[in-house]
Amino acid sequence: MSTPHSAYLFVQCLTDSLFPEAAESMASVLHRLGVTMHYPPDQTCCGQPAFNTGYRREAAAAARRFVELFEAAEAIVCPSGSCVHMVRHHYPELFPDDELMRERARRVGRKTYEFTEYLVDVLGITDAGTQLGSQFSGTVTYHDSCHLARGLGIRRQPRQLLETTPGLVLAEMPESDRCCGFGGTFSVKYADISAALADEKADNIIASGAGTVTGCDASCLLNIRGSLSRRNSPVQVLHIAQILDPARTDGSKGGNQA
């Protein structure tokens, strides 16, 4: 395993509030790998909702707070591709008249990683079964979230981890990179369109024949879970950290539980 072995954990709002088991599993996996973890208790939202709604001043305040809290880190790891994309790609543009702050934001962005990206590209994990002790019984399909796949170019890393998990069969769904309809404030402003996209995603998940759907963004997974639950689908929804976590105790070891 290559350096760095120390990481600050950034647990974004939706995971903290509605999907805490994903953060717990992320921490469990990193602990198993011997990574020294730090969790700044004063961390707040990365500012993406404000940014996407056009409130640049408020987003800049959140970005400045993030930089101040995390710039001492060797690496920053987050279970959300969407928030990593915000930090890495949009923080610098929030400080057009402050070159020093812009550069501080760039430095923080360069060491901010999505969870699977950190495992594969930084720590060199190539076999989830051998190196992590992961195991999972069942067929799993994977959802490519928009910011993760298109914004960060992360498609290979999560699949590599899933494919090397003993007992897991990866079944690709049709149009795996089609939007699930969440889109942050989009799902509030355009609820009908959002629901229609989520239903299309649910159709593709069911068509894959998998008993479990996973991904790297809690926001997408929560939206997908809502659509599946409305049709009483038995497909379970798990963040990829939960699948990789050999210490999970949430009953998710099987692949066909609701």
- In the predicted structure, residue 73 carries a pLDDT above the cut 50: yes
pLDDT band at 248 (very low <50, low <70, confident <90, very high): confident
Tokens of 147: 């910011």
Task: Name the more confident of 205 and 248.
Answer: 205
Task: Name the more confident of 185 and 67.
Answer: 67
Is the CB of residue 218 less than 8 Å from the CB of residue 18?
A: yes
What tens digit of pLDDT does each residue of 90-131 get?
Answer: 999 999 999 999 999 999 999 999 999 999 999 999 999 999
Give the pLDDT mean for 3-11: 85
DSSP E strands, 3-150: 6-9, 36-38, 76-78, 112-114, 138-142
Tokens of 42: 């004063």
CA 199 to chain centre: 21
Residue 44, H or E segment? none
Give the pLDDT mean for 152-177: 97
pLDDT, position 1: 47
pLDDT band at 145 (very low <50, low <70, confident <90, very high): very high
Is the CB of residue 196 less than 8 Å from the CB of residue 181?
A: yes
pLDDT, position 249: 52
Strands 36-38 and 76-78: unpaired
* Residues 6 or more apart in contact with residue 23 via CB below 8 angstroms: 9, 11, 15, 16, 79, 241
In angstroms, the CA 72 to CA 40 distance is: 11
Q: How many CB atoms lie within 10 A of CB 233?
A: 16
Determine the Cα angle at 133 with ends 18 and 7, to 5°. 55
Class of domain 126-244: alpha beta
Location of each CATH 3.40.50.11810 domain in the chain: 126-244
pLDDT, position 253: 47
Task: Name the more confident of 170 and 188.
Answer: 170
pLDDT, position 118: 98
Is the CB of residue 215 less than 8 Å from the CB of residue 201?
A: no
In angstroms, the CA 197 to CA 87 distance is: 26
